[in-house]
Amino acid sequence: MKILRICRQGGDVRVFGDKEELRTSLIDLHMDEIVSDEEFNPKMLQEHKSSTLDQLCSMFDWSYKEITDEEAQEIDEGWLPIQSNEYTHV
């Protein structure tokens, strides 16, 4: 089982090994947005790093879907077309 990251704004999809890998990636991806906030404080950074996957998806307009290893391989190889608005997380 793999995790497909989906951009709700109509772009980027990427396959991850598991939900924790995706969560960590989203934390890193949006770190600059947190630290560049005018009202930034260390507590905000701590909260960002401890956010759940669903919280991060909600805050930054992502979604995800569990997919099979075979689907992941087809996506990575460009064989399976993906509509980014096709999936939503529960």
Q: Alpha-carbon distance 60 to 89, whole Å?
A: 13
For residues 11 and 68, the answer to whether their CB atoms sit within 8 Å is no
pLDDT tens-digit profile of 6-30?
999 987 789 999 999 999 999 999 9
Residue 49 phi/psi, 5-degree rounding, is: -70, -25
What are the sequence ranges of the domains in the chain?
A: 2-76
Least confident stretch, 37-41, 46-50, 53-57: 37-41
Is residue 56 very low, low, confident or very high in pLDDT (cuts 50, 70, 90)? Answer: very high
